[in-house]
């Protein structure tokens, strides 16, 4: 457990190719939307120089305690 607490978390982002789970079928608009949302969500805190975990904690706090 000590090792887990001293290492930064890593996440794998999965892209769903289609909503019907049909092998070999790619829904291009669905995939593009997922990529845009994933990439758009990552850049703001990278530009600020904040670690990913700090950004996620801030987002969680904003969801739980929205501002005025």
Using CA atoms, how far apart are residues 5 and 9, in angstroms rounded to an integer? 9
- CB 34 within 8 Å of CB 16: yes
Helix ranges, the chain (H) = 2-6, 28-48, 52-64
CB atoms closer than 10 angstroms to residue 20: 7
What per-residue confidence (pLDDT) applies to 3? 74
pTM above 0.85, yes or no: no
- End-to-end Cα distance, the chain: 39
What is the CA 2 to chain-centroid distance, rounded?
A: 26
pLDDT digits 0-9 by tens, 3-62: 767 877 766 678 889 999 898 899 999 988 887 777 655 555 555 555 555 556 666 666
pLDDT value of residue 6: 81
């Amino acid at each position: 457990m000590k090792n887990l607490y001293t290492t930064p978390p890593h996440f794998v982002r999965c892209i769903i190719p289609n909503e019907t789970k049909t092998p070999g079928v790619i829904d291009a608009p669905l995939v593009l939307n997922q990529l845009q949302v994933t990439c758009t969500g990552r850049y703001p805190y990278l530009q600020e120089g904040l670690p990913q975990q700090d950004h996620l904690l801030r987002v969680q706090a904003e969801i739980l305690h929205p501002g005025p």
